[in-house]
Amino acid sequence: MSPKREREDGGNGEKPQHKKKEEVAHPRKRFYRARAHSNPLNDASFDVPTRPEDFDWTDHFPEFLQEWRERQQQQQPEAAAAPASGDAADGSSTAAPASTSAPSSSSSPSEQPLVRFVDIGCGFGGLLVKLSTIYPDTLMLGMEIRDKVSEYVRERIAALRREQPGSYRNASVMRTNAMKYLPNYFHKGQLTKMFFLFPDPHFKAANHRRRIINTHLLTEYAHLLAPGGWLYTISDVPELGEWMRSKLESHPLFERVSEEELAADPAAGLLALSSEEGQKVARNGGATFRNVYRRLAAPRQLQQQQQQEQEKQE
Ligand SMILES: C[S@@+](CC[C@H](N)C(=O)[O-])C[C@H]1O[C@@H](n2cnc3c(N)ncnc32)[C@H](O)[C@@H]1O
């Protein structure tokens, strides 16, 4: 990248959308290099909440939540009188009950915003910062196991927030092991989109249990996804692409999203090129294998049985 270009976009490839208010220093990736892999089955000690309701998201989304609280205070009398509104059609609603129970499918302006999108193994955060401006009203979280890499993403978001006040306040990152701790952070049915971009392939058969898409974890992801929520995967490793397709295809709680639906979905168009790994694959002319599945409301066999019974009755 030329020094001029680096000065203009902070070295991150993001075009400033507004006139810069101040000259903001962006983090440099070379100072945040980490080991290529981290064993997700290691028992590294992470500080995790016992239950999702014990976790305070204020540090992750300070402006977003502050604005919501202020709106609450202003609107309290109106909110008490107004009927509850439904979720946005694209599943990007941010609101959920402030109560400790699982979120319901409907939401009202008085319900506390919750994280709806997660980018699992977000790496250097390329997808997250793109999604943030496309879905500015949706809270989203990148989850990354490597400390220096997650620190880079934290600095990257902080720099973007300073540079473009009012933007990127809906995106944040957390260092954690997503293979172990998702239920500590999210309620049943809370998430509407889960992204798995270029996950580590763990080639050796003995290490397949480290793969982040497997039948057992898909059941956990189905638990956290709202019915109708989407799980996005992409890989440049043909064998891993096929592995993820077959695990999703055979799972009773997922069905494949059609190409027509994908073509109309802004997030699906970002899978191949938004993240740093995707850009590397594209530079090397590599092929990619995309598999996107929808969380069904009920197990597929049960749905088929119900359909057959209904047909018999008709
Ligand atoms: C090949 S990189 C892809 C990064 C990013 N998704 C991209 O497309 O540029 C896989 C990432 O997943 C992270 N990762 C692996 N296992 C993880 C886990 N159990 N929890 C959170 N992150 C994990 C790795 O540290 C690494 O940054």
Whether 167 and 133 have beta carbons less than 8 Å apart is answered as yes
pLDDT of residue 89: 37
Domain ranges of the chain: 56-74+90-313
Question: Is 160 annotated among the ligand-binding residues?
Answer: no
Quick one: pLDDT band at residue 45, thresholds 50, 70, 90? confident
Confidence of residue 262 (pLDDT cuts 50, 70, 90): very high
The C-alpha torsion from 280 through 281 and 282 to 285, rounded to 10°, is 130
- Is 213 close to ligand 1, i.e. is its CB under 6 Å away? no
Q: Cite the DSSP H helix spans in 10-142.
A: 62-81, 126-134
The pLDDT > 90 percentage for the chain reads 69
pLDDT of the residue at 7: 41
* Residue 105 reports pLDDT greater than 50: no
Interval 167-203: pLDDT, tens:
999 999 999 999 999 999 999 999 999 999 999 999 9
Distance of alpha carbon 84 from the chain centroid: 26
54 is catalytic: no
What CATH topology corresponds to 56-74+90-313?
Rossmann fold (3.40.50)
Share of the chain above pLDDT 70, in %: 80
CA–centroid distance, 60 to ligand 1, in Å, is 20
Nearest atom in ligand 1 to 279's CA: 9
What average pLDDT score do residues 65-69 get?
96
